[in-house]
């Protein structure tokens, strides 16, 4: 049983975003089958009327800007976004309907529950961008990147799949780099400092990311071995 830390709701939603939750979330939600077994769910099941070439997962999509941009740029890819913060879910839903992004499904709960359910080697790319740094020493166990979660990601990702991590928090950057670098299933993709200091062209910027520029953000890329 996973224990969730963090907010699920912020300030009161306006009428448009409340309506998006009520009317659109049932259509775009990633719904697990009843009594499904661990490691048994194919992401294709979330898109029964589509046949996508690959499936990407974003963990903690915030307001959904990055996920929506990736979906628009890559219509042949099925996108699954995890975000328990309902304000962010409602914002992404308004973008989905405004841009007719049919290749997105939303998991509005703890990402680890979904990850436990997915079958092995089903993901081609995973994003974890600007997660909560949990700066206090006693809270480091709440950070998403842990050896245990990397073990799960390694199970879910195909050989050659890409894991992308971003943060502007120096302590969290060190933590994520060390944990992932030491993991035997991931290979750090950097030959020089610019490879992790500069945002890749195919890595859409978000308003949150722009706010973090003063904090010297880092962009880590790992390949699944």
Sign of CA dihedral 20, 23, 28, 34: positive
Say what angle helices 15-23 and 86-99 make with each other, to 10 degrees.
80
* Residue 23 annotated to the active site: no
Question: How many of the other CB atoms lie within 10 Å of CB of 212?
Answer: 15
Burial 86-106 (b: 16+ CB within 10 A, else e): bbbbbbbbbbbeeeebebbbb
CB-based contacts of 133: which residues, under 8 Å, 6+ apart? 143, 167, 169, 171, 172
Q: How far apart are CA 198 and CA 191, in angstroms?
A: 13
> Of residues 132, 151, 187, 195, which has the active-site annotation?
132
Are the CB atoms for 139 and 189 separated by under 8 Å?
A: no
∠ CA 30-36-41 to the nearest 5 degrees? 55
Sheet holding 186-188, edge to edge: 104-107, 77-82, 54-59, 123-129, 157-167, 218-224, 186-188
∠ CA 12-65-98 to the nearest 5 degrees? 75
Residues annotated as catalytic (active site), given as ranges: 132
């Amino acid at each position: 049983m996973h224990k969730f830390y963090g907010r699920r709701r912020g300030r009161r939603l306006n009428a448009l975003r409340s309506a998006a939750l009520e009317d659109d979330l049932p259509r775009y939600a990633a719904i697990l089958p009843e009594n499904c077994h661990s490691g048994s769910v194919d992401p294709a099941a979330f898109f029964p009327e589509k046949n996508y070439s690959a499936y990407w997962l974003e963990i903690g999509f915030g307001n959904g800007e990055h996920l929506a941009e990736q979906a628009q740029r890559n219509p042949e890819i099925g996108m699954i976004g995890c975000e328990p913060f309902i304000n962010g879910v409602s914002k992404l839903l308004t973008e989905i309907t405004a841009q007719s992004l049919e290749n997105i499904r939303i998991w509005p709960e703890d990402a680890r529950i979904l990850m436990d359910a997915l079958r092995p080697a089903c993901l081609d790319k995973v994003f974890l961008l600007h997660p909560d740094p949990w700066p206090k020493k006693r809270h480091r166990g709440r950070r998403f990147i842990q050896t245990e979660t990397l073990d799960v990601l390694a199970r879910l990702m195909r050989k050659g799949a890409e894991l992308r991590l971003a943060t502007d928090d120096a302590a969290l950057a060190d933590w994520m780099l060390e944990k992932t670098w030491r993991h035997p299933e991931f290979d750090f993709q950097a030959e020089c400092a610019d490879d992790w200091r500069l945002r890749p062209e195919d890595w859409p910027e978000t308003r949150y990311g722009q706010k973090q520029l003063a904090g010297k953000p880092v962009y880590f890329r790992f390949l699944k071995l």
